[in-house]
Amino acid sequence: MNWSKIIECVPNFSEGRDLEKIDKIVAPFRGKSGVKLLDYSNDEDHNRLVVTLVGEPEALRDAVIEAIGIAVRLIDLNHHSGQHPRMGAVDVVPFIPIKNTTMEEAVALSKEVASRVAELYNLPVFLYEKSATAPHRENLASVRKGEFEGMAEKIRLPEWQPDFGPAERHPTAGTVAIGARMPLVAYNINLSTNNLEIATKIAKNIRHINGGLRYVKAMGVELKERNITQVSINMTDYTRTALYRAFELVRIAARRYGVTIVGSEIIGLVPMEALIDTASYYLGLENFSMQQVLEARIME
């Protein structure tokens, strides 16, 4: 990719089960000049699709707008259920500066996309994180609170008027949050219990809003097919709170319930530094740096 500027986008769509719909939503990201589809994963329990792509700003903008239109047409949240909170067919669209771009440029791109999707699809849009127009809109959890069902009333409140689009929930596609942010690591830890209450209590124990780890959001999720539960975590700044800290705190919290960790997973892509940092911790490496990673030196 010989691109002068690179921005990453990780749109989340509320469809994790219908493979035909998923393929149609992902299609605008394939075979496009200036855009590269890096990864996409769908989860049936969460009923959610997470796509990771990078591109030059204008090409990325056009592809994302096209995919949002397809999702608005195909997904009806009146008939949607899943473990993951959601307020829209396209639930959240974050832009992340990667190469030769600033956070300010990512914010500008997010606002341009927000304006266009509101105009094209009659979709209410909230700007969040670095793009937020007020402090109470920065946190995605605050914006999403009430989800699709509660948004019909919430969006009429003066403090929750959308930044773009009508002050009325779209009848089938709900609302969407669009913004710019730091790289996020979606990290899930699986537990040896099917008791959702335990997973939920552990999630509350580790997340920042309840006095836990800074830059950690978490919730308990039931994985019915596997007969286990999960602490589903968003690490919003892995450079300040490492993955291993979340893992160890979950392990400590689980012990009081006689529960163990049976595995963990990363959804989508993850920065190399986040994994190197964790490997360095468990190996007890002294004075180790990213400059000692072969692939990192090659890519310089």
Active site residues: 84
Contacts of 183 (CB under 8 A, 6+ apart): 8, 96, 238, 271
CA distance 162 to 152: 12
CA distance 22 to 201: 33
Residue 264: how many other CB atoms lie within 10 Å? 16
Strands 125-129 and 176-180: parallel
How far the first Cα of the chain sits from its last, in Å, is: 14
Residue 92's H or E segment, with its range, is strand 90-99
CA distance 49 to 242: 25
